[in-house]
Amino acid sequence: MEYWLIGNKAALLFYVIAATYFLSGTSTSWEILAYLLYLILNIAIPLFKPRNAKIVLVLLSSAFLVLCAVRLSPEFLLLLPVHLFELVELAPGAAGRSLLALAIVPLPFLPKGAIPVYILATALSSLVYLGMRTQLDRLERMDHTREKLRSELERLSRTLGENEEYIRQSEYTIKLEERNRLSQRIHDEIGHSMAGALIQMEASRTLLHVDRDKSAELLGNAISISKEGLERIRLALKDIKPKSEELGIHRLRLYADELSAKHNNSFTTTVTHEGELDAITPLQWKIIQENTTEAVTNAMKYSQATVIGIEIQVLNRFVKSVVSDNGIGTDKVIKGLGIVGMEERAAAIGGTVVVDGTRGFRVTTLLPREAAR
């Protein structure tokens, strides 16, 4: 807005200079002094930050204009309305707007010939000012709504992220519960039938020399109970045992192999690991898996790499997973949504993600180990 007012003033000032200096022919150096002083005053207005200082300067400048109008030439009054707008800009609310009416005050003091020009200049300036003001107000309102929408969106996506995390956590809990249930089942059913079989066999041994038939019958019972138990163990184990490809490092290997195959072996993928992989919790595996997938996808898309290395290392207090490629990399890493996503996942359990682009891309995920926390 300030710039528009300055532009308005400049345009009017040009007119005033033209009218009083070049066209009138009766110009003196006083006029030049007046123009320059006016320039100084008005350059000073945007320089000062405090509102009161601005108001004082605007008033000073207005007073100066009136003085010039009285002493030199009434044309100087043409510049007055813009100052009024400036005041309106500085004074808040409707009280400020009512100041606009003051624009008609100089009318009676003007010589007849100058009145139409004054009205023209004031009307045009007012139009420019009011038009700009309305548009700016609208823009402000729109900005405001946009900001509100943005924060709303942020809030929603945060809740979404939290929900996802919750789902992830509960998945883990469900798995734990499932294992618990299975071991309970083994204990309850198989344990009991084995105990039953054992008792029958003990009894059979005691009766072996006394009553052979009874003993054989008991032994038969024990055998069938054991058979049944064995079948149950088999069934239960089948339930409990997860498929090997679902387990962390195997799953990564599988992923890497599939990837190479899918892209006709245009690049090589290696998976290496070091340290006690058992120390990695399922939740950590999940994060590693997701971040690796993300990083590898990025590498394939942008890096022009021929080798992608996936490395898992269990340190004393951290679990480190690194995806590196031999591609073009970049000197300055600009964070995209992918990297932000990886960071958020890692941050959920107190970890960090470092992206380095100096020698190919290298995405390191560092997760603190459970015991160390």
Partner 1 sequence: MNVLNIRNVTKTFGDFAAVDNMSLSVREGEIFGFLGANGAGKSTTIHMVSSLLKATKGEIEVLGKNIAKHPRFAKSNIGIVPQDLAIYEQLTAYENVQFFAGLYGLRGSLLKERTEEALEFVGLGDKAKSFPKSFSGGMKRRLNIACAIAHRPKLIIMDEPTVGIDPHSRNYILQSVLKLNEMGCTIIYTSHYMEEVEEICTRIAIVDHGKIIAEGTKEQLKSIVTDTKEIWIGVRSESNISVEKLKNVPGVVSVRIEDGQIKLQSKAEVNNLNEVIQQLIQDNADIRSVEEQAPNLESVFLTLTGRNLRD
Partner 2 sequence: MIILHIARKELLRSLRDTRTFMFMLAFPIVLMLILGTALTNAFTTSLTFDDLKLAYKLEDPESQASGYWNEFAKSIEQNGVLVTPLSADEDGKKAVKNGEYAAFAEIKNDGIEFYGSNKLTVESDILQGMVSAFANRYSLAAAGAKQDPASLETLLSEAGSGTYVKETSLQGDTVPDSMDYYAMAMSTMIAFYACMSASQLIRGEKVRNTALRLAAAPISKAELFAGKVIACTLINFLCVIVVVAVSRFAFGANWGDHYGPILIVLFTEVLLAVSLGLGASYLFSGEGGSSAVMTFTQIASFTGGAYFPVNDMTGFWAILAKISPLWWANDALTKIIYSDEVQALWPAVLFNVIFAALFLSLSILFMRRKEAL
By the criterion CB under 8 A, which residues form the site for partner 1?
313, 315-318, 320, 322, 324, 332-335, 352, 354-356, 358-359, 362, 364, 366
Residue with tokens 């999940």: 286
Give CA–CA dist 265/269, Å, rounded.
9
**Between 33 and 328, CB nearer to partner 2:** 33
Show the tokens assigned to 55. 């108001």
The position carrying tokens 């009011």 is 130
Element (H, E) at 12: helix 2-17
Minimum CB–partner distance for residue 191 and partner 1 (Å): 38
Distance in Å, CB of 33 to partner 2, minimum = 8
Neighbours of 315 (CB within 10 A): 14
Six-digit token string for 249: 């490092």
- Residues 162, 164: Cα–Cα separation, whole Å: 5
User: Residues 245-284: x/- map of binding to partner 2 (CB under 8 A)?
Assistant: ----------------------------------------
Residue in 317, 319, 313 with CA at minimum distance from that of residue 371: 317
237 binds partner 2 (CB under 8 A): no
Q: Does 36 bind partner 2 (CB under 8 A)?
A: yes
At how many degrees (to 10) do helices 282-298 and 337-348 cross? 170
Contact of residue 43 among partner 1, partner 2, none (CB under 5-8 Å per partner type): partner 2
Task: Give the interface size with partner 2 as a residue count (CB under 8 A).
Answer: 7
Region from 41-49, 70-78, 176-184, 233-241 binding partner 2, contact rule CB under 8 A: 41-49
Q: Which of 19, 44, 72, 203 binds partner 2 (CB under 8 A)?
A: 44
User: Which three-class secondary structure state does DSSP give residue 309?
Assistant: strand
3-state secondary structure of 228: helix
Tokens 């022919």: give the residue. 25
**What does 33 bind: partner 2, partner 1, none (CB cut-off 5 to 8 Å by kind)?**
partner 2
Closest distance of CB 320 from partner 1, Å: 7
Cα–Cα distance for residue pair 137/129, rounded to 1 Å = 12
- Stretch of 43-51, 62-70, 149-157, 182-190 lying at the interface with partner 2 (CB under 8 A): 43-51
Separation of alpha carbons 322 and 344, rounded Å: 17
* Residue with token string 């000032």: 13
Between 40 and 107, name the residue whose CB sits nearer to partner 2. 40
| Cβ atoms 129, 5 nearer than 8 A | yes
356: three-class secondary structure by DSSP: strand
Cβ proximity to partner 2: between 39 and 107 the closer is 39
- Residue among 95 and 334 whose Cβ is closer to partner 1: 334
Contact assessment for residue 128 and residue 1, using Cβ atoms and an 8 Å cutoff: no
Residue 53 within binding range of partner 2, rule CB under 8 A: no
Minimum Å distance from CB 10 to partner 2? 15
User: If 0-12 CB within 10 Å is exposed, 13-18 middle and 19+ buried, where does residue 236 land?
Assistant: middle
Q: Which does 9 bind (CB under 5 to 8 A by kind): partner 2, partner 1, none?
A: none
**Closest CB to partner 1 among 218 and 319?**
319
Question: Which residue in the set 23, 33, 70, 237 belongs to the binding site for partner 2 (CB under 8 A)?
Answer: 33
The listed partner (partner 2, partner 1, none) that binds 334, CB under 5 to 8 Å by sort, is partner 1
Three-state DSSP state, 233: helix
Nearer Cβ to partner 1 (172/318): 318
* Residue number with CB closer to partner 1 (262 or 332): 332
Nearest distance from C-beta of residue 147 to partner 2, angstroms: 24
Q: Which residues bind partner 2 (CB under 8 A)?
A: 29, 33, 36, 40, 43-44, 47
